[in-house]
């Protein structure tokens, strides 16, 4: 009976300790880099970037916005519209994304951004041209944590979701490596992004934030 009583007392003390820890441990929260509320929008101006880094503005403006929420497999995503210059997204320009802790992910689980994870390689694959000619190896990870960028809308502190293309010799005549940037700023969203480049052109085209409206 004494042994049973001691065991019961120990279990009660352990349970009380766990309850106290649960009450005193604060929930972990992360900065908001997505701003996924219907009515939020971002307007960008395009700039051509030459091989010396000089930026020339163009009279082309892209509007991006949150359309609405949608539920997939009991998880809430938002429909986002971002103009797709090359028709690679179907339906045209529409994507589905959600916040997951400090990540932004799509329904397939692909990581599209993280405010905290600057170690993990999110994707690594080869781009192949027929027949059996490798164009490049693409590596995607977070880079340039909290780096200042300047746009027509102002100066922002951003982190870069970067795709690096290590070009194979037959395809490296316009530069190697090549990059695509998507720079996110806290409480704003994307402030600068690179439009996919043509392998034969050494220049890049960027969208830079011109103005925006965030729904709280």
Residue 3 is predicted with a pLDDT of 46
Residue 207 is predicted with a pLDDT of 97
List the single range of 10-19, 49-58, 69-78, 112-121 with lowest mean pLDDT.
10-19
Whole-Å CA distances, 8 to 3, 14, 23: 9, 10, 23
Residue 48 confidence (pLDDT) above 90: yes
Residue 130 is predicted with a pLDDT of 79
193: confidence class by pLDDT, cuts 50, 70, 90: very high
Which tens digit of pLDDT belongs to each residue from 67-100?
999 999 999 999 999 988 776 665 678 999 999 9
pTM score, whole prediction: 0.84
Which tens digit of pLDDT belongs to each residue from 127-147?
998 777 999 999 999 999 999
Domains of the chain by range and CATH? 31-213 (2.40.360)
Residue 5 confidence (pLDDT) above 50: no
Mean per-residue pLDDT, 108-117: 96
Rounded CA-CA distance 186/129 in Å is 38
Residue 6 is predicted with a pLDDT of 45
Mean per-residue pLDDT, 146-162: 97
7: confidence class by pLDDT, cuts 50, 70, 90: very low
């Amino acid at each position: 009976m004494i042994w049973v009583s001691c065991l019961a007392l120990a279990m009660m003390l352990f349970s009380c300790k766990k309850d106290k820890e649960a009450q005193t441990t604060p929930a972990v929260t992360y900065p908001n880099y997505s701003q996924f509320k219907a009515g939020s929008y971002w307007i960008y101006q395009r700039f051509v970037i030459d091989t010396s880094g000089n930026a020339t503005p163009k009279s082309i403006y892209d509007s991006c916005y949150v359309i609405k929420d949608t539920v997939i497999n009991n998880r809430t995503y938002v429909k986002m519209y971002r103009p797709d210059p090359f028709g690679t997204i179907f339906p045209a320009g529409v994507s589905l994304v959600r916040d997951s802790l400090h990540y932004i992910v799509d329904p397939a689980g692909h990581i599209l951004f993280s405010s905290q994870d600057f170690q993990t390689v999110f994707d690594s694959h080869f781009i192949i041209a027929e027949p059996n000619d490798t164009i490049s190896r693409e590596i995607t990870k977070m880079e340039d944590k909290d780096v200042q960028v300047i746009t027509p809308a102002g100066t922002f502190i951003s982190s870069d979701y970067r795709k690096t293309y290590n070009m194979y010799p037959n395809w490296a005549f316009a530069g190697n490596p090549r990059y695509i940037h998507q720079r996110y700023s806290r409480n704003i969203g994307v402030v600068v992004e690179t439009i996919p480049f043509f392998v034969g052109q050494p220049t890049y085209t960027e969208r830079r934030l011109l103005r925006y409206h965030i729904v709280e």
